[in-house]
Amino acid sequence: MAKIVITQVRGTIDRPFDQKRTLVALGLGKLHSKVEVEATPQILGMVKKVNHLVAVK
């Protein structure tokens, strides 16, 4: 599968609990942290849920 790089570009203050946990499940936690993962349907679904908090390449 293809690899994607996910970067957290916005903070989690005043965000719902499920969005915070989704970022942790993706391997993010701090602002400007990056993670490279495979583009599986599960990962893409998580990215879609928090797309306003992350940037994807």
Are 38 and 3 in contact by the 8 Å Cβ rule? The answer is yes
This prediction's pTM: 0.92
Sheet containing 54-56, strands listed edge to edge, beginning at the edge strand earlier in sequence: 34-38, 3-8, 54-56
Structure tokens at 20: 């915070």
- Range list of β-strands (E), 1-57: 3-8, 34-38, 54-56
Predicted pLDDT at 15: 97
Domains of the chain with CATH codes: 3-56 (3.30.1390.20)
Q: How many CB atoms lie within 10 A of CB 54?
A: 21
Q: What is the pLDDT of residue 1?
A: 80
pLDDT tens for each residue of 1-57:
899 999 999 999 999 999 999 999 999 999 999 999 999 999 999 999 999 999 999
